[in-house]
Homo-oligomer: A and B are copies of this chain.
Amino acid sequence: MNFDLSTGVSILERTPSTFRAMLDGLPPVWTDANEGPDTWSPYVIVGHLNHAERTDWIPRAKLILDQGPQRRFTPFDREAQFRESEGKSLVELLDEFAFLRAENLGTLAGWKLTDAQLSLEGEHPAFGLVTLGQLLSTWVVHDLGHIAQTARVMAKQYRSAIGTWRAYLPVVDR
């Protein structure tokens, strides 16, 4: 499927509610669980999504739209949430995500992007030239990937509890 603004936004606008439905009020044995050393818990994932709302999608889209002399993105900090989430409850992070996402989708809608603009390019620090359409598609897939990851992280906590059913539930071994 090709990227299309309204189809893409239909996922982006649902992600904060999806995380809230999945995580709000869950006991910490689920929300602080991870997949082992150097892996992320649902709590860490929501903090990461917030950092991306602040520094990745919209700032990079602006850089592309400006088409100024400097079109190279600032590298994304994959560890920022460990610092930024400090002292915040999961509910605070979920509220923050809903707020930042709504604000960013407001900015995106305000741009009334044309197909020509979706083809404009920026420079990814690792991949080189990428288009605005690819950046916005990545925003969508990034959301869905982290929803899948959150469900998988929690599923793994019952890897031994399910006994022989493990053979039918590949999610605990992914």
Chain A interface (Cβ within 8 Å of chain B)?
1-3, 7, 10-11, 14, 17-18, 20-22, 25-27, 29-30, 33, 124, 127-128, 130-131, 133-134, 137-138, 140-142, 144-145, 147-149, 151-152, 154-155, 157-158, 161-165, 167, 169-172, 174
Known: A20-B21, A165-B138. A144 touches B130 (CB 8 A): no
> B7, B10, B30, B169: which contacts A10 (Cβ < 8 A)?
B30
Tell me whether B155 and A137 are in contact (CB under 8 A): no
Tell me whether A174 and B174 are in contact (CB under 8 A): yes
Docked pose: A32 CA to B139 CA in angstroms: 21
> B29, B124, B169: which contacts A1 (Cβ < 8 A)?
B29
Q: How far is the CB of A45 from chain B (nearest CB, A)?
A: 12
10 new A-B pairs (CB below 8 Å) besides A10-B26, A21-B21, A124-B164? A1-B158, A7-B27, A127-B164, A130-B163, A130-B165, A137-B162, A141-B158, A141-B171, A145-B151, A145-B170
Residues of chain B with a CB closer than 8 A to A141's CB: 155, 158, 162, 165, 169, 171-172
